[in-house]
């Protein structure tokens, strides 16, 4: 049991949490990359403080109830390896905040950078009227797209009713009920009969070997949102086979496949994938045009 009885200020708790996280050898990757940032991401939201707050507030003393709550969450982060966004129920994506819990994956896709740039230069933003987000999870991609294209309609689908319940919370939080439509669907199976200018997806893509080697933090996330068969390609292959039927002639398909990029490229050397690069890091995201998809034979 960690003794935090002598800690008084926010700075005390940040320093202590950082030391504890380093000592425990925690794994990051759910919004932070190091122990200090992890401590900030845990403690400030728990105290209802923004991360850009005046740093002089760090020397303020916590009340007894605040000390107890922060101490409990630090303890859980270390002993249970619960990712911080599940403890604070807050995650950031494309400079937007989202409610998350263990019914959905924690947002962390490099696709956020594409959305912020309105998918340029790959498509003319003025020609984007309808967008489909497959495997929407928390709804972060769909909602970010609706913000980036305020005159568009976004359909967001997921096979998980639990995930859709979280997505609904976020659609309501961002006041996008008239712009984002949620659908329970196994990929394209139960979608409306529509054509889209952009189909975007961050589907399950973790292969069997990587699933077996996942750190404890990632086992708190729903397996349904991660695992995609022996090679990690089970879901993306279904998307590739069907996407062209739902794309407008000048539309684009963008899919994140992470480490399964290599297995996909090797299995389909004839497919002209454009593998996108990101200024903020990340990879494993491909783009295909509707024209390219129309020429594929499976």
What are the tens digits of pLDDT across the range 148-160?
Answer: 999 999 999 999 9
Lowest mean pLDDT, pick from 162-176, 243-257, 262-276: 262-276
What is the spatial distance between Cα 288 and Cα 246, in angstroms, rounded to a whole number? 13
This prediction's pTM: 0.94
Same domain for 144 and 38 = no
Are 55 and 3 within 8 A, CB to CB? no
Helices (H), the chain: 10-24, 35-46, 64-79, 84-88, 111-116, 140-148, 161-173, 208-212, 234-242, 261-267, 290-294
Same domain for 129 and 51 = no
Identify the band that residue 4 occupies on the pLDDT scale cut at 50, 70 and 90: confident
Range of the domain at 185: 100-294
Same domain for 266 and 120 = yes
Same domain for 253 and 166 = yes
- Rounded average pLDDT over 55-84: 95
Residue 128 counted as domain residue: yes
Q: What pLDDT sits at residue 1?
A: 55
Classify each residue of 1-36 as buried b or exposed e, where b means 16 or more C-beta atoms within 10 Å of its C-beta. Answer: eeebeebeebebbbebbbebbeeeebebebbbeebe
Residue 1 counted as domain residue: no
Same domain for 198 and 83 = no
Same domain for 125 and 172 = yes
What is the count of structural domains for the chain?
2
Q: What pLDDT sits at residue 298?
A: 65
- Rounded average pLDDT over 260-279: 91
């Amino acid at each position: 049991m960690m003794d935090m009885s002598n800690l008084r200020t926010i700075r005390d708790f940040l320093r202590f949490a950082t030391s504890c996280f380093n000592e425990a050898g925690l794994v990051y990757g759910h919004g932070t990359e190091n122990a200090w940032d992890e401590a900030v991401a845990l403690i400030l939201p728990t105290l209802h403080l923004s991360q850009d707050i005046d740093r002089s507030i760090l020397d303020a003393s916590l009340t007894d109830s605040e000390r107890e709550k922060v101490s409990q969450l630090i303890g859980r982060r270390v002993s249970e390896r619960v990712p911080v966004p599940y403890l604070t129920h807050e995650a950031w994506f494309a400079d937007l905040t989202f409610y998350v819990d263990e019914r959905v994956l924690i947002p962390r896709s490099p696709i956020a950078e594409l959305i912020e740039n309105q998918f340029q230069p790959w498509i003319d933003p003025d020609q984007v009227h309808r967008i489909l987000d497959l495997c929407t999870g928390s709804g972060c991609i769909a909602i970010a797209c609706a913000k980036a294209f305020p005159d568009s309609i976004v359909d967001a689908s997921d096979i998980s009713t639990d995930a859709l319940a979280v997505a609904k919370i976020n659609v309501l939080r961002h006041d996008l009920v008239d712009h984002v439509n949620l659908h329970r669907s196994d990929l394209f199976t139960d979608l409306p009969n529509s054509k889209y200018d952009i189909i975007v997806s961050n589907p399950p893509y973790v292969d069997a070997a990587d699933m077996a080697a996942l750190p404890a933090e990632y086992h708190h996330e729903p397996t349904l949102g991660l695992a995609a068969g022996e090679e990690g390609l089970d879901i993306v292959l279904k998307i590739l086979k069907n996407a062209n039927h739902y794309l407008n002639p000048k539309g684009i398909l963008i899919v994140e496949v992470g480490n399964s990029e290599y297995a996909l490229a090797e299995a389909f050397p004839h497919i002209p994938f454009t593998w996108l690069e990101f200024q903020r890091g990340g990879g494993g995201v491909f783009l295909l045009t509707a024209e390219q998809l129309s020429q594929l034979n499976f």
